[in-house]
Amino acid sequence: MAMIIKGKKRLSGEVEIESSKNAILPIIAASLLTDDEVRIRKVPNIKDVTTIMQIIKILGKQVKEQERQIIISGKLMNHHPPYELVRQMRASILLMGSILSREGKVRISLPGGCAIGNRPIDLHLKGFHGLGANINFDNGDVIAKGRRLKGNHIYLDYPSVGATENLIMAAVLAQGDSYIENAALEPEIQDLANFINSMGGKVTGAGTNVIQIQGVSELHGSDYTPIPDRIEAGTYMLAVAATGGQAVIKNIIPEHLKAVSAKLEETGVEIKEYDNHLTVKRDSYIKPVNIKTLPYPGFPTDMQAQFMSFLSCARGSSIISESVFENRYMHVQELQRMGAEIKIEGRAAIIKGVKELTGAQVKASDLRAGAALIIAGLTADGSTILTGMEHVERGYEGIITKLNALGANITQN
C-alpha cells in the first residue's frame, strides 16, 4: 500500500489529537498488575495498541473492546509473550516488569535493534537484578525470575524511558520501598504513575529524577484516560508550519510541547497556547535553527525527523544533533531524493535550506521517518509516493483523513 501526496497545499483548519501511544502502551502493560477490571478510555486506533492487546489476550487476560474503550480483566495464565508478536513492537519489553511482578517469572524475546539504533535493554535488566530477580538468557530469550521482589535503590546510568517504566511496574508489588534515581522525566512516566496510583499503588516523584515506589501487596481495578499524544500533536504543528498554513491543534497539553513550540517560534512560526489547544501559523520564511535532541524536557528525538523536513526549506543552514539514538537518520537519504541538501557528520546533520523540495518515490523506514516524509511531500512540488505505510500506522490514527480535512491532497493505493 502506498500514499500519494500531491504537494503544495497550504493546510488550515482544526485537528484533534488522540491519546498518547507512548502513554497507553505502558498503561496496558501495567493493567497486568491486577486481576480486577481496568477500563481505559479514549483508546487510539493504532497498530501498536492492536499488537499489545493481541499479546495480553494470549497471556490469558479477558479483553472487551467497545467504541474507544478497552476493558481488561482476569488472571494471567502465561508468562511468555510469543516471539511473533513481540518482534513486531519494541514496546513489548514493557510487559516484562509487570509479568515478573505478578508471576515471579517472565520469559520474553530479546527485542534486538531496529531502524533507529541498537536499543539494548541492559538498564532494565540491571534494575530487575537490583530488585532481586535472577536474569538468564536462553535461545534468544531473556528470563527473569524472583518470587517476591525486594525494594531497593536503583541508579540508572541513563534516564531511559522504558527502563524507568519497567522498574516502576516491577517495584510496585515488591516488598518495601524502591527508589529509581536518574529516572526519566517524560510526561508518559507521570501518566503511568498516575494510573498505577489510581489502582492503589504508591508511586511518588514521577516527573522528577528520583521516583519512590512504596511496595503494596495488591492493586485494584481502575478507570483511566491517558494523556494526549505530544508527538502526534507536534507532527501536525510541523505539517501546518511547513506548508505555510494556519491551524488549531486540539486536545493537547501545551506544556508537554514546550521544546517543539519554542524551536518553531525561533524559526519565525507563530504559536499561541491555550488551556488544551494551541494555534500555529506561518506567514514568513523559515529561519534556520540548531537543535539537539535530549531526554525530556529537552527537544524530543521523536520529533527530530519531522523538524528536519521542515528545515529542509529554511533560508540558510541548520544543524540537528541526535544525542538519544545513534542511528536515527534513515529519513535523510529519502529527503535527499526529494532535493534536500543534508550532510551527516557523526551525530550531526547539516541541513542547507533549498528553495523547494520535489516529489519523488520514497520509503518510510520507521514511524517518525514516515511522518517526516509525509511533511516533505506536503510541501513538495509534484507528487510524492510513500511506501512503508505500516510504520506510520503504528502510531498515527487516520493521518490521511486528518491531513485531507486540513486541505491536503492525499490518496492511497
List interacting residues with ligand PEP (CB under 6 A): 22, 90-91, 116, 302, 367-368, 395
Q: Is 61 annotated as a binding residue?
A: no
Residue 96: which of ligand PEP, ligand UD1, none does it interact with, CB under 5 to 8 A by kind? none
Residue 368: which of ligand UD1, ligand PEP, none does it interact with, CB under 5 to 8 A by kind? ligand PEP
Q: Is 121 annotated as a binding residue?
A: yes
Q: Is 283 annotated as a binding residue?
A: no
Q: Is 177 annotated as a binding residue?
A: no
State the CB neighbour count (10 A cutoff) for residue 363: 19
Closest contact distance (angstroms) between CB of 274 and ligand UD1 is 26
Among 35, 191, 229, 302, binds ligand UD1 (CB under 6 A): 302
Helix pair 95-103, 122-130: axis angle to 10 deg: 20
Residue 117: which of ligand PEP, ligand UD1, none does it interact with, CB under 5 to 8 A by kind? ligand UD1
Window 321 to 340, contacts with ligand UD1 (CB under 6 A): 324-325
Closest contact distance (angstroms) between CB of 217 and ligand UD1 is 28
Q: Is 162 in the site for ligand UD1 (CB under 6 A)?
A: yes
**Residue carrying C-alpha cell 538468557:** 137
Closest contact distance (angstroms) between CB of 11 and ligand UD1 is 25
Name the residue nearer to ligand PEP (CB basis): 88 or 190: 88
Q: Is 120 annotated as a binding residue?
A: yes
Residues with a catalytic annotation lie at 114
Closest contact distance (angstroms) between CB of 341 and ligand PEP is 25
State the CB neighbour count (10 A cutoff) for residue 400: 18
Binding residues for phosphoenolpyruvate: 21-22
